[in-house]
């Protein structure tokens, strides 16, 4: 079985047309300072499925609004442009799965769990880190989606290696492909025009050959650490995995140490993530 090259894989999905129309238009507004609330509302309303999901998430416990939001216009007013754009890009990723069987469900469940975990962990680390950590959590394993979509049989070998040999996904991917999902995900969304901060999260969320202390952008360092911690929290809880991994000592992880989140706080957050995931995961479907 031949394995696709990294560049061929990136070129196959690097065309912006792969994204849903609404996501493409929302990306364009990132650099359009003249875009108004009405403009953004009109763009999102062109896809009623995405619009409905954005409203559901806006009204979820994740955002803790005091009053129910009944319209996109109202949601943008309350939550702001950046948050709504992030929500649109987040829910659009669900449409990028070519198939949706058990393998894809596991990937999606883990992504949703990590997004919820990142949202809860990020509280108190600044609004910019909160905003990008959520979408970073949802998209952190996007490279796996690309690899699975384009080479499902080969990626199936990766899944079997992870389960049978209990190795990290990046290790299994590098043995079979010669590269891993962090490189693919970061390169693809970079070509699509996502922010450099999000590209940085996808590229470095495993902290492989990367020291948080060396990151010059404090928002990037915090966001990468938050997504890494949320990712491990989901491993502890078994969200997107065959079973929980209770051997992971969250408070000893470099990301937890960097963020100065102590064990008692982590224990509380882990319980909150489990509760929030069970309650809110359906809004992402």
State the residue for tokens 């915090």: 222
In a domain, 277, yes or no: yes
Q: Is the dihedral of CA 181, 133, 137, 150 positive or negative?
A: negative
In a domain, 228, yes or no: yes
In a domain, 48, yes or no: no
Between CA 192 and CA 67 the distance in angstroms is: 35
pTM: 0.90
Q: What is the pLDDT of residue 194?
A: 85
In a domain, 85, yes or no: no
Identify the burial level of 8 via C-beta atoms within 10 angstroms of its C-beta, where 0-12 means exposed, 13-18 middle and 19 or more buried.
Answer: exposed
Domain count, the chain: 1
Report the CATH number that the domain containing residue 257 is assigned in CATH.
1.10.3210.10
In a domain, 23, yes or no: no
In a domain, 34, yes or no: no
Give the HSE-up count for residue 208: Cα atoms under 13 Å, Cβ half-sphere.
14
- Rounded to an integer, the average pLDDT of 116-132 is 91
Range of the domain at 256: 6-18+98-284
- For the CA atoms of the chain, what is the radius of gyration? 18
113-122, 126-135, 171-180 — which is least confidently predicted? 126-135
In a domain, 25, yes or no: no
With vertex at residue 220, the alpha carbon angle to CA 182 and CA 41, rounded to the nearest 5 degrees, is 90
Q: Would you say 107 and 144 are in contact if contact means Cβ atoms under 8 Å apart?
A: yes
- Rounded to an integer, the average pLDDT of 22-35 is 83
Between CA 114 and CA 112 the distance in angstroms is: 5
- Rounded to an integer, the average pLDDT of 147-157 is 92
Structure tokens at 32: 């359009």
In a domain, 227, yes or no: yes
Between CA 243 and CA 91 the distance in angstroms is: 26
Q: Is residue 252 predicted with pLDDT exceeding 90?
A: yes
Q: What is the pLDDT of residue 1?
A: 47
């Amino acid at each position: 079985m031949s394995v696709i090259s990294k560049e061929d894989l990136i070129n196959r999905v690097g065309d912006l047309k792969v994204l849903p129309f609404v996501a493409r238009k929302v990306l364009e507004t990132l650099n359009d300072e003249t875009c108004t609330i009405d403009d953004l509302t009109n763009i999102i309303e062109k896809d009623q499925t995405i619009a409905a999901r954005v409203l559901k998430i806006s009204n979820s416990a994740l955002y803790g609004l005091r009053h129910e939001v009944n319209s996109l216009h109202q949601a943008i007013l309350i939550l702001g442009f950046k948050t709504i754009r992030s929500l649109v890009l987040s829910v659009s990723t669900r449409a990028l799965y070519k198939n949706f069987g058990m393998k894809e469900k596991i990937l999606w469940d883990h992504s949703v769990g990590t997004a919820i975990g990142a949202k809860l962990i990020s509280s108190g680390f600044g609004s910019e880190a909160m905003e990008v950590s959520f979408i970073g959590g949802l998209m952190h394993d996007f490279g796996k989606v690309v690899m699975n979509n384009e080479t499902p049989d080969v990626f199936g070998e990766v899944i079997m290696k992870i389960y049978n040999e209990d190795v990290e996904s990046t290790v299994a991917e590098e043995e079979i492909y010669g590269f891993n999902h962090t490189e693919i995900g970061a390169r693809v969304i970079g070509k699509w025009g996502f922010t450099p901060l999000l590209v940085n999260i996808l590229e470095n969320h495993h902290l492989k050959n990367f020291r948080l202390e060396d990151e010059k952008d404090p928002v990037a360092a915090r966001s990468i650490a938050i997504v890494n911690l949320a990712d491990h929290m989901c491993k502890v809880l078994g969200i997107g995995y065959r079973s929980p991994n209770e051997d992971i000592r969250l408070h000893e992880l470099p990301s937890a140490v960097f963020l100065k989140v102590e064990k008692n706080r982590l224990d509380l957050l882990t319980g909150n993530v489990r509760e929030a995931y069970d309650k809110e995961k359906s809004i992402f479907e």
